Chains A and B, each alone.
Chain A
Amino acid sequence: MAFAHRIGATRHVFDDLRVLLARATPFRSGDALAGVAAESAEQRIAAQRALADLPLRHFLSEAVIPYETDAVTRLIIDRHDASAFAPVAHLTVGGFRDWLLSEAATPASLAALAPGLTPEMAAAVSKIMRLSDLVAVAAKCRVVTRFRNTIGLQGRLSIRLQPNDPTDDPRGIAAQIVDGLMLGAGDAVIGINPATDSVEATIRLLELIDGVRERCAIPTQSCVLAHVTTSLLAIERGAPLDLVFQSIGGTEAVNTSFGVTLPLLAEAREAALSLKRGTVGNDVMYFETGQGSALSADAHHGCDQQTIEARAYAVAREYKPFLVNTVVGFIGPEYLYDGKQITRAGLEDHFCGKLLGLPMGVDVCYTNHAEADQDDMDALLTLLGVAGVTYVMGVAGADDVMLAYQSTSFHDGLSVRAALGKRPAPEFEAWMERMGIGEGTRDLPEALAPALLGAA
């Protein structure tokens, strides 16, 4: 179905929903690279106005990627909850924005609405929202998940401790774990990106984190961010695996490029659930996403990168994840060129994820060939903190020496918590108190001494 909007003498026509969404997207380099961006500022606002007039109900009858050819589209349509959708079924996209910002949208009504929304609805409304809108609405969404602690409670901000090492050296990893714990990081997860994706390396790293966790009785969970098939093999071999990780995307083709299918994700979740390692809950999946991954795999079907990103959240929510995060600035300047584009994308992703009911975190990050720096990251982190981000990354000194990019540091986590009055997950906070870890801590607690970690 074609859409049109007149501005002055020009009637701007958009051939279908996919094109309308793409042209309505605030500018970013990846959409220009894909050749789907608006050709002018006027064409963009025309698309935004046409989109604002579109009934939300239309999204249930026109798919951006055909139902017959894409498993993610089928998941979105088949899982749509019409009764949850009912309260907003009469609204246009523009009316939906107004409703989201109004007092009618409460934490309870937003939570009830989530299963009634499709990713494309969330993406559409985000395209006509400013940053302050994205912050305000996300801040009203509550998503709480549980494993060995409780993530996402109001007034809390959790940190993934990311102790990556270029050679998976256990000493280097242990040193970063100690450093991070002493700076209040690690309540979301202690999660390592392995340098080598092998079953042996994965098991060794899982045992390393589990050893530290057990020895110090830390109420947190561990993860080695290996491929889902590697995690399945590790489970078979009896590894102490808490969370199953996988990178996912918003089309069947991009998931194929990642080597995953929806049944494979279901199988992995079942395997992790069978271990029953959670104590306060059993949310066992950890997903990462990021705008641009579909285009880089030539799997974007002519869609804009933000719409595809939102579709990845439909995949994520099917498997009731403990954590989801968008690795927003990792992909490089051909997708998100500078601090401005990274900032908007981070807030869009967080908003869409939360609106769809996900425990959404953001890897606030950049590479050295992007036009971004620490100031940009400070601004985005603060905005996300105000928006109630579930968790962010904690990397020693913001410098990931394995992945060669910059993320948020342990110190950044402390700073944003202090600035916004946020606290760690309650179980983890109590543990820190027991260990005597706090602002005034100078000495390493005995239990965390490198020698006792078997690493010095």
Chain B
Amino acid sequence: MSTPTAPAPGVTEPTAPAHGATEPSAPAPGWAALRRMTPARVALGRAGNALPTGAHLDFQEAHARARDAVWSVLDAEALAAALGTLGLPVLRAASRAANRRDYLLRPDLGRRLAEQDHAALAAQRRDDLPLVFVVADGLSATGVQAAAPAVIAAAVPRLRQAGVPVGPVVIATQARVALGDAIGAALGAGMVAVLIGERPGLSAPASLGVYLTLDPRPGRTDAERNCISNVREGGLSAEAAVETLVWLVREAGRIGATGVALKDMRPAGPALPPPA
């Protein structure tokens, strides 16, 4: 336990009790105001020149959760069971990255479909598949596991109403966004929506991104996709994400493009709430 050597400009954690810290002093005037003005880690106090124990361990906890999210493994069985209740066929696919380390070091392998999966998906190819969902682990399986079924469950009836039938859902592992291009092409899908775990931040270890690509095929660039990001508790809600997705799908069908050519021109698109 460290003892502050100088009077700390001291605000201790307002919520959790400071772990092992000395008796918190009342916030000096001004500092508490700073805390309310930003999601950043301000007014943390000092233990000498370092962080007080509570603030230090808060940081370590956030980093631990983010690290675990990166190395978390998608529970494909549980995900398939959750998706199965929606009445859509569920398929599986893997990228060419053999494991997580491979995935982190070789983004190119994460964008390419494993050989055997290509054949298996091609066997399911149909000519009347307007939209396929791909649920991909990305950089946070935790985020996908938590949020993807709810997004798809909300999206499917809305898309059907809009006259866009939805094909099978593909659960993809060690997957980058562009793996959806290979999957969509193998299945003959008109559009692919990739729901993928985003790179975890300290304040958001489990966040989902949604990438929509028209006429998917290997070689598509990020400029040819539309992205809805920060879908998570405390971020963009699943409902708001679905609303945007349905709008994008309809517009993409109308103008025949996704990406930079498809700008969200709705007068009041769902605004991001302030980060937690």
Contact = CB atoms under 8 A, between A and B. Distances in A.
B196 to A, nearest CB: 13
Interface centre among A175, A409, A439 (most CB of B within 10 A): A175
Interface string A25-45: 000010011000000000000
Interface residues of B, number: 49
A441 B9 contact: yes
Contacts of A165: 38, 40
> Most B CB atoms within 10 A — which of A33, A171, A398, A404?
A404
Contact of B202 (A182, A399, A440): A399
A334 B107 contact: yes
Contacts of B67: 368
Contact of B41 (A164, A333, A397, A441): A397
B195 interface: no
B37 A175 contact: yes
Interface string A404-437: 1110010100110010000000000000000000
B139 A369 contact: yes
Contacts of B9: 182, 441-444
Interface stretch (A92-100, A214-222, A250-258, A448-456): A448-456
Interface string B28-44: 11110111011111111
A171 B104 contact: no
Interface string A281-322: 000000000000000000000000000000000000000000
B63 A406 contact: yes
B37 A374 contact: no
B70 interface: yes
Interface string B189-219: 0000000000111111100000000000000
A399 B44 CA distance: 12
B105 interface: yes
B38 A440 contact: no
Interface stretch (B47-55, B142-150, B159-167, B180-188): B47-55
A450 B33 contact: yes
Given A165-B38, A368-B63, 5 more contacts: A178-B34, A179-B34, A369-B139, A397-B44, A404-B201
A171 B275 contact: no
B62 interface: yes
A442 B7 contact: yes
18 contacts: A32-B105, A33-B108, A167-B274, A179-B40, A367-B199, A368-B201, A368-B202, A374-B59, A397-B51, A399-B62, A401-B203, A404-B199, A405-B201, A409-B51, A411-B50, A418-B49, A444-B29, A450-B33
B105 A337 contact: yes
Interface in A246-274: none
B30 A450 contact: yes
A70 interface: no
A197 interface: no
Contact of B40 (A32, A172, A374): A172
A174 interface: yes
Contacts of A448: 30
Contacts of A164: 40
B168 interface: no
B272 interface: yes
Interface of A: 29, 32-33, 163-167, 169, 171-176, 178-179, 182-183, 333-334, 337, 367-369, 373-374, 396-399, 401, 404-406, 409, 411, 414-415, 418, 439-444, 448-451, 455-456
Please indicate which of the listed interface residues B39, B40, B49 has the most CB atoms of chain A within 10 Å of its own CB: B40
A443 B69 CA distance: 39
Contacts of B104: 333-334, 337, 369
Most chain A beta-carbon neighbours within 10 Å: one of B34, B46, B139, B203 = B34
B259 interface: no
B139 A449 contact: no
Question: 9 closest pairs, A vs B, by CB?
Answer: A397-B41, A404-B201, A172-B38, A444-B30, A175-B37, A414-B49, A179-B42, A368-B66, A396-B40
Contacts of B139: 369
A29 B105 contact: yes
Contacts of B31: 444
Contacts of B199: 367-369, 404
A367 B205 CA distance: 12
Given A333-B105, A368-B199, A398 B59 contact: yes
B6 interface: yes
Contact of A369 (B6, B70, B204): B70
Nearest to A441: B9
Contacts of A333: 104-105
A171 B37 CA distance: 6
B37 A440 contact: no
B135 interface: no
A257 to B, nearest CB: 13
Contact of A443 (B28, B46, B274): B28
B250 interface: no
B83 interface: no
Contacts of B63: 368, 373-374, 406
B55 to A, nearest CB: 7
Nearest to B70: A369
Contacts of B275: 166, 401
B106 A368 contact: no
Nearest to B104: A333
Nearest to A418: B49
Contacts of A456: 33, 37
A178 B37 CA distance: 11
A456 B7 CA distance: 25
Interface in B59-74: 59-60, 62-63, 66-67, 69-70
Given A442-B10, A444-B30, A172 B46 contact: no
B70 A174 contact: no
Contacts of B8: 442
Contacts of A175: 33-35, 37-38, 40, 42
B265 to A, nearest CB: 17
A181 B10 CA distance: 15
Given A172-B37, A175-B40, A401-B275, A415 B10 contact: no
Nearest to A415: B49
B272 A167 contact: yes
A176 B30 contact: no
B119 to A, nearest CB: 28
